[in-house]
Amino acid sequence: MIVSPDDTTPIVLGLLAIGKSPQDFIPGASIQFLRIDGTELADSVIDEENIGGTLVEMLRRTEEKLQAHNRRAVDIVRA
């Protein structure tokens, strides 16, 4: 998480894992969610969110977002 015991400068992993706001130091370290109503990029946007925070928080919020948009269930037992 840091360079060494003598040099407490955080490394990228440390910033992403336990930093309070890693995007302040690593601007592109976020997840962009975009749901489009169709198959073309020019189609209208249903939902979008730029998910930031620590790595654990980004993964949790992304999983919640994906579960909220999962509208079809597959019954693999009967298939």
- Answer whether residue 79 shows pLDDT above 70: no
Is position 54 within any domain? yes
CA distance 54 to 61: 11
The tokens describing 23, both together, are: 């995007």
Interval 34-62 mean pLDDT: 91
Type of residue numbered 59: L
- Answer whether residue 74 shows pLDDT above 80: no
Interval 40-51 mean pLDDT: 92
Q: Which of 10, 57, 48, 8 is closest to 29 using CA atoms?
A: 57
What per-residue confidence (pLDDT) applies to 75? 75
Domain count across the chain = 1
Is position 34 within any domain? yes
pLDDT in tens, 1-25: 889 999 989 899 888 888 888 999 9
Is position 77 within any domain? no
Is position 75 within any domain? no
Is position 79 within any domain? no
Burial of 19 (0-12, 13-18, 19+ CB in 10 A): buried
- Residue 15, Cβ neighbours under 10 Å: how many? 20
Residue 38, domain extent: 12-69
What per-residue confidence (pLDDT) applies to 51? 94
Is position 49 within any domain? yes
Is position 40 within any domain? yes
Q: Which of 10, 16, 13, 11 is closest to 29 using CA atoms?
A: 16
Is position 74 within any domain? no
Query: What pTM, to 2 d.p., does this model score?
Result: 0.70
